[in-house]
């Protein structure tokens, strides 16, 4: 894992002190709310529906047990005993008090964490594949480059007042677990014909009110040019992105209005000026960061662990958890464990302080001290020995963290919605809760298989509804909560935006509607066919017919 050196630490401490001064000036009346708002947002502090909300960055979703324990103690000491893990690999505290926030940031800096640029029109926390460093299909660990980008983008003097927020995601594997085609910039690590490693650069993807699949503007960018190329893209966007209309300010609109080819030309022209300048990454500098992400000292183990296999054979519940929550690891005898934060009836992504501590303890003992936050709002223990899986499962089970539903119909992404958010039109979490109750039969869930439901409480699409196999969007109809359903979205390497199936459903009816769609799928699917494949083969008609027949 990356560790702060003296410079990183001094930088973050200076930033905390600066923010403490800004809070003091606000409380002393030197700053009005209008003046303070952009300053607090630059440090992830919102005023939400009920209270202030602090969003803390978990850079590329990687945490140590030490850091997780600090997140737990902050939840307990300054909040209401829980935190909410988000789709951008961050954690949100829903009830901090303004005068406490500088102290919270001090505590975070003591474990090398911060809230810098978790909001505002700047480059946000860079996200990465949550299985980075563990996945067998990986070309290189994307976190090396995510960390390089984190440093370059922190308080970037030119790019702190962009037309709109700017999100970068990076994946090191061909199987995209970071949704790189739905970010302002997506980076996919590639190997060229000469065997060199570099990046495919994808620009202008995004969700929100205008979902767009990103366009590749460079098939291969050599590593040493990563930062100069990003700077070229950002400089073009900063100058030409629309500032007259909030809803047209994201880079995706600029790329669309300019045309992808013309946009690429603008970037490449700019890049030629700065290409071999001060931003060129010397290989020693990459190696310096890479060393922090060196693989842990895996033992040489047999790929086949008899005790594990025996337990799996004897214990159906354990076997079921392994099937959904455990994925292969690049090192023989190891596995990646995904800890579901989606228990039946729970709020997706929420974890109590005590649960965070259980995960921290497990990571420290059995996963080389590493934890990941996934953009699907779950936690990951990336490096667990197969022979330790049973112990991990039993410990998780005892604290409500053993739900065997990862990737299944109840592993729902949901934004905070009207229960917490100032912008929302409708609630999201209670819809997710009711769906997990409707689909509580685990046997049925495993029969249904891989099926992603994603729920947003407004058009800003924080719940990624556009890319759910089944997407649910909350809308306001004359003061009443209604839900529009889309089918066929996908966030992975088969990126697709879902299509609306028909008129929206009331809060009371939306769960039945989803159930009807799932039932229709089960009736129509061929052997092993996934939801989107069935939909592609038959179209929306059969789903629609069942769905609106009763109405």
By CB under 8 A, the residues from 30 to 69 that bind other proteins are 33, 35, 38-39, 47, 49-52
Residue among 64, 89, 90, 238 that touches other proteins (CB under 8 A): 238
Distance in angstroms (rounded) separating the CA atoms of residues 120 and 386: 43
Identify residues 103-132 at the interface with other proteins (CB under 8 A). 121
Give me the least distance between CB of 418 and other proteins, in Å please.
6
Q: Does 77 bind other proteins (CB under 8 A)?
A: no
Give me the least distance between CB of 481 and other proteins, in Å please.
6
Identify residues 495-514 at the interface with other proteins (CB under 8 A). 507
Identify residues 79-98 at the interface with other proteins (CB under 8 A). 80, 82, 94-98
Identify residues 352-411 at the interface with other proteins (CB under 8 A). none
DSSP H helical segments within 327-408, as ranges? 353-366, 389-398
Please give the size of the binding site for other proteins, defined by CB under 8 A: 74
The interface region with other proteins, picked from 103-111, 153-161, 365-373, 487-495 by CB under 8 A, is 153-161
Give me the least distance between CB of 227 and other proteins, in Å please.
9
Identify residues 242-301 at the interface with other proteins (CB under 8 A). 243, 273, 277-279, 282, 284-285, 288
E strands present in 183-295? 185-191, 197-203, 215-222
HSE, side-chain direction, 13 A CA sphere, residue 45: 24
The interface region with other proteins, picked from 191-199, 358-366, 417-425, 534-542 by CB under 8 A, is 417-425
DSSP string over 59-118: GGGEEEHHHHHHHHHHHHHHSSSEEEE-TTS-EEES---GGGHHHHHHHHHTTT---TTS
3-state secondary structure of 221: strand
Partner residues linked to 337 by β-bridges:
326, 381
Distance in angstroms (rounded) separating the CA atoms of residues 177 and 374: 9
Best CA proximity match to 344, nearest among 433, 421, 275: 433
Closer residue to other proteins in complex, CB, 273/444? 273
3-state secondary structure of 453: strand
Closer residue to other proteins in complex, CB, 157/528? 157
Q: Does 475 bind other proteins (CB under 8 A)?
A: no
Asked whether the beta carbons of 348 and 294 are under 8 A apart, the reply is no
Q: Does 550 bind other proteins (CB under 8 A)?
A: no
Distance in angstroms (rounded) separating the CA atoms of residues 166 and 233: 11
Best CA proximity match to 111, nearest among 59, 167, 45: 59
Closer residue to other proteins in complex, CB, 156/530? 156
Asked whether the beta carbons of 125 and 87 are under 8 A apart, the reply is no
The interface region with other proteins, picked from 6-14, 334-342, 365-373, 497-505 by CB under 8 A, is 6-14
Give me the least distance between CB of 440 and other proteins, in Å please.
10
Give me the least distance between CB of 142 and other proteins, in Å please.
19
Residue among 24, 77, 99, 319 that touches other proteins (CB under 8 A): 99
């Amino acid at each position: 894992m990356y560790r702060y050196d003296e410079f990183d630490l001094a930088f973050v401490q200076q930033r905390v002190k600066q923010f403490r001064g800004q809070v003091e000036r606000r409380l002393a009346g030197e700053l009005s709310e209008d003046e303070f708002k952009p300053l607090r947002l630059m440090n992830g502090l919102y005023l939400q529906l009920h209270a202030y909300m602090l969003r803390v960055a978990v850079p590329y979703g990687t945490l140590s047990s030490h850091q997780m324990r600090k997140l737990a103690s902050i939840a307990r000491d300054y909040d209401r005993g829980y935190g909410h893990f988000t789709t951008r690999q961050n954690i949100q505290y829903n009830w901090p008090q303004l005068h406490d926030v500088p102290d919270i940031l001090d505590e975070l800096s003591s474990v090398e964490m911060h809230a810098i640029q978790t909001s505002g029109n700047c480059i946000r926390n860079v996200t990465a594949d949550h299985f980075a460093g563990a996945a067998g299909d990986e070309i290189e660990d994307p976190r090396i480059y995510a960390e390089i980008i984190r440093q370059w983008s922190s308080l970037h003097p030119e790019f702190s007042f962009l037309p709109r927020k700017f999100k970068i995601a990076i994946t090191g594997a061909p199987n995209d677990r970071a949704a790189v085609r739905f970010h302002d910039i997506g980076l996919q690590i590639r190997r060229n014909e000469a065997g060199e490693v570099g990046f495919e650069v994808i620009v202008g993807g995004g969700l929100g009110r205008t979902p767009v699949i990103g366009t590749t503007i460079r098939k291969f960018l050599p590593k040493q040019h990563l930062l100069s190329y990003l700077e070229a893209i950002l400089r073009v966007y900063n100058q030409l992105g629309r500032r007259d209309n909030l809803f047209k300010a994201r880079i995706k609109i600029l790329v669309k209005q300019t045309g992808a080819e013309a946009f690429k030309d603008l970037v490449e022209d700019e890049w030629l000026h700065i290409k071999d300048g001060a931003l060129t990454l010397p290989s020693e500098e990459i190696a310096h960061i890479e060393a922090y992400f060196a693989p842990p000292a895996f033992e040489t183990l047999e790929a086949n662990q008899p005790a594990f296999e025996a337990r799996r054979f004897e214990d159906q519940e354990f076997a079921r958890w392994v099937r959904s929550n455990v994925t292969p690891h690049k090192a023989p005898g190891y596995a990646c464990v995904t800890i579901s934060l989606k228990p039946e009836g729970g709020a997706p992504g929420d974890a109590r302080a005590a649960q965070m501590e259980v995960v921290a303890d497990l990571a420290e003992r059995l996963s080389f001290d590493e934890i990941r936050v996934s953009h699907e709002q779950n936690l990951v223990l990336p490096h667990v020995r197969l022979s330790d899986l049973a112990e991990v499962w039993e410990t998780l089970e005892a604290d409500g963290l053993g739900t065997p539903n990862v990737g299944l119909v109840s592993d729902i992404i949901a934004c905070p919605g009207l229960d917490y958010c100032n912008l929302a039109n409708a609630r999201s979490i209670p819809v997710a809760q009711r769906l997990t109750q409707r689909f509580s039969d685990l046997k049925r869930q495993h029969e249904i298989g891989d099926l992603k439901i994603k729920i947003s409480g407004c058009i800003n699409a924080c719940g990624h509804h556009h890319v759910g196999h089944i997407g649910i969007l909350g809308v306001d109809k004359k003061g009443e909560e209604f839900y529009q359903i889309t089918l066929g979205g996908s966030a992975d390497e088969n990126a697709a935006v879902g299509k609306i199936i028909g008129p929206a459903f009331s809060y009371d009816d939306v769960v039945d509607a989803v159930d009807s769609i799932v039932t229709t799928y089960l009736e129509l699917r061929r052997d092993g066919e996934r939801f989107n494949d069935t939909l592609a083969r038959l179209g929306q008609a059969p789903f629609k017919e069942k769905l609106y027949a009763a109405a």
